[in-house]
Structures are given as structure tokens and as C-alpha cells.
Amino acid sequence: MKSHPLLRLLDRGSTLFLVLLGAFAIAIPVLNLLMPDGSFLHISTYFVSLFGKYICYGLLALSIDLIWGYVGILSLGHGAFFALGGYAMGMYLMRQIGTRGVYADPIRPDFMVFLNWPELPVYWYGFNYFAYAALMVLLVPGILAFVFGWFAFRSRVTGVYLSIITQALTYALLLGFFRNNFGFGGNNGLTDFKDILGFNVQAPYTRASLFVISALALMLGFIICRVVVSSKFGKVLVAIRDAEARTRFLGYRVEAYKLFVFTLSACMAGVAGALYVPQVGIINPSEFSPANSIEAVIWVAVGGRGTLTGAVLGAVLVNYGKTYFTSGFLAPYWLFLLGGLFVAVTLLLPRGVVGTWQWWMERRRASAAASTPATPAAPQAAE
């Protein structure tokens, strides 16, 4: 009996990851909505939103691992695509406020009324429709990544130079979105959201639904990445990572492969940002900060570059540590802890947590196979 092609692409670790994530996506809303508040098993709505934020970060880390771990493109500006997706969703949420805003203007958001904007800018048109906003979540980061990658990869910019350019890109967007005349809320950004698809964003059922949707998006993103890296296309990506000049000499259009994966990765980051915004309740220019993009790279390094599951695990572990250490007396030293963690992982666990575990298991299997005596061949019958 032949198995489904998708199942053949999922190894044991990938299958376990998807099963655990699916169970997590079911258990958290159930414990939040069905368990009474005084129960030991009850999970508050705050923690539902917190875990939902971690999952969005996991999808962002997955998008970075796809290009860094399998193609060797180290992007230090992937937070820009995350933020652009978040702003697209934030614009939709702002249009849903309507007359419930402070100034009760049915068309213009409060910050535009405060800044005396005479009318709604053209690029805000259409964001009162969810379908249009969802399309922009994919198109805006995707188009920017395509245009940026088209010029960068055709110019054969690689290595640290490409990393610096991506960092400059997100910093330029940071400066632009900070300006009030850009039309995106300036320093304060977009906030005070009310509804999403007609549901109150603060309601527990809406929070639980957003958490489940985020988990499903992460599962879908993981499957897409797994299909890409396990196919013949993925083998070419690894060849580009390990020997780009030789791969180009063999006749492969290296730039086209890089451009496709970079654009796909940017779209995934945009989806992560779009799911992040309604759960945290705000999006502002600080999301474009180069430090955020560098921190996302640290998540991947900690979990294990080129492992997919490691990228998600690293995002969850580091952000849980950030939540834990920034709420006590260690709060002023969090950045030192984060930097020390990155240095320690680089020196002691260069493959990351999951990568080191996989390497150790492969060594163990290889050692067991070498110590197993070979079975003697059966003698052939004489003619």
C-alpha cells in the first residue's frame, strides 16, 4: 500500500512536531474556555495571547531558517516583512473602528483627524474589506522582497554585504514609518482596535480563535517549507548554500532559485506579522527596528539552523526567557543575557539545540551500525 506523497516528505521528527503543535492548538483554547477560572488547569486569556505571540514568532523564525539554513542567505532585515504584514492587518482593523473612535469620524482614523488630514489617503482605500487586507498581507512584503532580491541577486551580492543591505532596508523603513506625514500613525502606530470580521478582538473566544488560526498557519508554513527543502528544488538550494559558484557552473539559474525562496520567505513573515497584530493590539515603527531582526536570527541559531523544527523551538524558548527575565530584577540585564546566549550557542552548540540532538543521534546510529557484526552470506547451491 503506497503512502501519500506528503507523508513521505515528513520524517519522524516533523510528524511529531506537527502532532504536538496540533495538540497544543486544541488544548490551550479548551483549557481557557471550558475550565472554570478557579481551576488549576485553567489558562487565562493573557496566556492565550502570549502563546499566540510565540507562535507568530515561530513562523517568522521558520521563514528565516528557510533562507538562511538552506540557501545561506542571512537576512538581518526580515523584521521589515513581518512589520509590513502587521501594518496591512492594522490598517484593516483601524478601518473597522468607524464612529467608535475618539473623534467619531466614520472614515478617517483618529490619528488622521488629530493631524488634520483632510481625507483618507488613496493607499488606505480597500482596507475596509478583510479580503483586500489579507491580499495585501502577502503582496506588500512579497513585492518588496521580489524587487529587492531581483537587484541584489542579479548583482551577485552575497555574504555580509547582503546582510548589511537588508539591515539598511529595514532601517530606512523604520525612519519612514516614524514620520507623521507617511500616513501610518507615526511614532504611535496603529492601536485601539475593536473588531475583526465583526468579532470583538478582546473577547476570549476571539483570542482563542486567533491562537488556533496562528497555530494552523504555523503548521501550514512548516509543511510548505518541508515540501520545498525535501524536493529536488530543495537539493539545489542546499547546493547553492554549500557551493554557489559550482552550482552556477552546472547550469542552474542561481538567482531565480534565490529570488523565489526569498519572496516566499517574506510572504511567510508577512502572515506572521498579520496574525501578531490583533493578538498584541498594536503595531508601530519599532517593529522595523534592526535589533528585532537580529534577535530573530538568534532564535534560529539557538534552535538550530537548517532544521525547521529548531527554528520554531528557538523562537519559543528565547521569547519565553525574555518574558521571564524581563519581569523581575534581571530586567535591566536581559540584553546581556541574550548576547551571552548567542555567544554560548555559537561556541558550544554551533548546530543549535535541535541540530546538536540530530547530530548526536546520527552518530549514535552510525556507531551502532558499525558495531553490529555483518551477517554471513548464505552458501549458493551447487549446480
pLDDT band at 383 (very low <50, low <70, confident <90, very high): very low
Q: Which three cell numbers stand for residue 351?
A: 548546530
What's the confidence (pLDDT) of residue 366? 80
Residues 263 and 248: their CA atoms lie apart, in Å, by 20
- Spacing of C-alpha 30 from chain mean position: 25
302-361 pLDDT, tens digit each: 999 999 999 999 999 999 888 888 777 777 877 788 788 778 887 888 888 888 887 787
C-alpha cell at 267: 510572504
- Residues 233-249 have pLDDT tens digits of 999 999 999 999 999 99
Ranges 21-30, 332-341, 374-383: which has the least confidence: 374-383
Whether pLDDT at 11 is above 80: no
**DSSP state, 158?**
-
For residues 59 and 225, is the Cβ–Cβ distance under 8 A? no
Evaluate the CA torsion angle 221, 224, 227, 232 in order and state its sign: negative
Q: In which element (H, E) is residue 191 found?
A: strand 190-191
What local confidence, expressed as pLDDT, does residue 321 receive?
A: 86
Q: Which three cell numbers stand for residue 330?
A: 534581571
pLDDT at 382 > cutoff 50: no
Tell me what pLDDT residue 330 has: 73
**Beta bridge mates, 200:** 195
Task: Point out the least confidently predicted range of 14-23, 71-80, 366-375.
Answer: 366-375
For the residues 9-13, what does the mean pLDDT come to?
75
Q: What does residue 123 show for φ and ψ, rounded to 5 degrees?
A: -75, 0
- The pLDDT of residue 315: 95
Determine the Cα angle at 308 with ends 291 and 8, to 5°: 165
Residue 255 pLDDT: 95
Which pLDDT belongs to residue 373? 66
Query: What Rg value do the Cα atoms of the chain yield, rounded?
Result: 23
Distance CA 237, CA 257 (A): 7
- Give me the helix-helix angle, 334-348 and 309-325, nearest 10°: 150
Query: Is the pLDDT reported for residue 275 higher than 80?
Result: yes
Neighbours of 47 (CB within 10 A): 14
Q: How far is the first Cα of the chain from the last one, in angstroms, to the nearest whole number? A: 38
Average pLDDT of 39-56?
Answer: 93
pLDDT at res. 328:
72
Residues 135-194 have pLDDT tens digits of 999 999 999 999 999 999 999 998 899 999 999 999 999 999 999 889 999 999 999 999
Q: How far apart are CA 5 and CA 82, in angstroms?
A: 31
Q: Is the overall model pTM greater than 0.75, yes or no? A: yes
Output 372 or 3, whichever has higher pLDDT: 372
Q: What Cα–Cα distance (Å) separates residue 68 from each residue in 163, 250, 330?
A: 11, 22, 32
pLDDT above 90 covers what percent of the chain?
74
